[in-house]
């Protein structure tokens, strides 16, 4: 399931201290609390696109993380079968989800 980067995430990426509220992902509803400078709609949308690309490009990492055996099982694998056998097990997942 793909996460869609929203306006709030983009605003925080531009200004980590920003305090805003938004309804229905509509720029016109944004409430900019005192001390938070207004950011243009174009800048927010550009940052959303940038963050979305970065997120999508790391899908292989999330897929791998979800499929690797638990660390305890990996340690047990190393203890009983050695490093090469463990590397072979891990490689199966890496090959299944190659870097994009």
Partner 1 sequence: MALFVGGTEKTFGKVLQVISDTKASTGSSTALASGGNFTDLMSANITLATTSSKVMITCMVNTGASNASDATCLLRCLRDSTQIAGGTASGNRISTTSGKGTDNQGGHTQLMKTVHWIDSPSSTSQITYKVQFAKRGGGGGTAYVGQSYDDSNDTEEQRTPCCLTLTEIGA
- Residues at the interface with partner 1 (CB under 8 A): 1-4, 6-9, 11-12, 16, 18-25, 31, 33
Nearest C-alpha neighbor of 91 from the set 68, 73, 70, 66: 68
Please identify, using beta-carbon distances, which residue of 7 and 47 lies nearer to partner 1. 7
- Nearer to partner 1 by Cβ, of 7 and 77: the residue is 7
Contact 47, 15 (CB under 8 A): no
- Could you tell me the smallest distance in angstroms from the CB atom of residue 62 to partner 1? 11
Residues 6 or more apart from 7 whose CB is under 8 A from it?
22, 25, 27, 30, 44, 48
Please report how close the Cβ of residue 89 comes to partner 1 at its closest, in angstroms: 26
């Amino acid at each position: 399931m793909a996460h869609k980067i929203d306006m709030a995430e983009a605003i925080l990426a531009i200004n980590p201290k920003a305090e805003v509220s938004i309804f229905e992902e509509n720029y016109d509803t944004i409430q900019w609390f005192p001390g938070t400078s207004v950011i243009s709609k174009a800048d927010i949308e550009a940052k959303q696109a940038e963050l979305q690309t970065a997120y999508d490009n790391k899908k292989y990492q999330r897929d791998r993380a979800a499929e690797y055996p638990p660390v305890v099982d990996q340690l047990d694998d190393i203890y009983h079968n050695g490093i090469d056998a463990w590397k072979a097990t891990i490689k199966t997942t890496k090959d299944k989800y190659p870097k994009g």
